[in-house]
Amino acid sequence: MMISSKIRFSKSDTTDGFGFNCMKTAYSLRIKGRLDYYPGGENQIIAEGEENSLQDFIAWIKNNIEDTNQFTCHNSLICSGIFKEFDIFLHTAIQPF
């Protein structure tokens, strides 16, 4: 079953390879979506995929961020279907919340 997840976490370093490795992991698990890096280290991933693959992806994220205390994840059965692949977007001035 296809599900969607909105994942939020804190990570201030955008140059450590996390984004690239996140994208590689998403591709290997056939996850579509987007990683949004925001100023100040507040980040968000919108991910869509098969339930088991998405759970593996969420576990990978938790294992590769410094502070899991700032980690939240909300799953939904509603998938937008707008994502064709997994992308990364670095925001320079807009705060998401």
The pTM for the full model equals 0.88
How confident is the model at residue 5, as a pLDDT?
95
pLDDT digits (tens, 9 = 90+) for 11-46: 877 778 899 999 999 999 999 999 998 888 889 999
Whether the per-residue pLDDT at 52 is higher than 80: the answer is yes
Please answer whether residues 2 and 48 qualify as being in contact, where contact means their C-beta atoms are separated by less than 8 angstroms: yes
pLDDT digits (tens, 9 = 90+) for 60-84: 999 998 888 889 999 999 888 899 9
How confident is the model at residue 93, as a pLDDT?
63
Set out the domains of the chain in order of their start, with CATH numbers. Answer: 2-90 (3.30.70.100)
- Give the count of beta carbons closer than 10 Å to the beta carbon of residue 70: 14
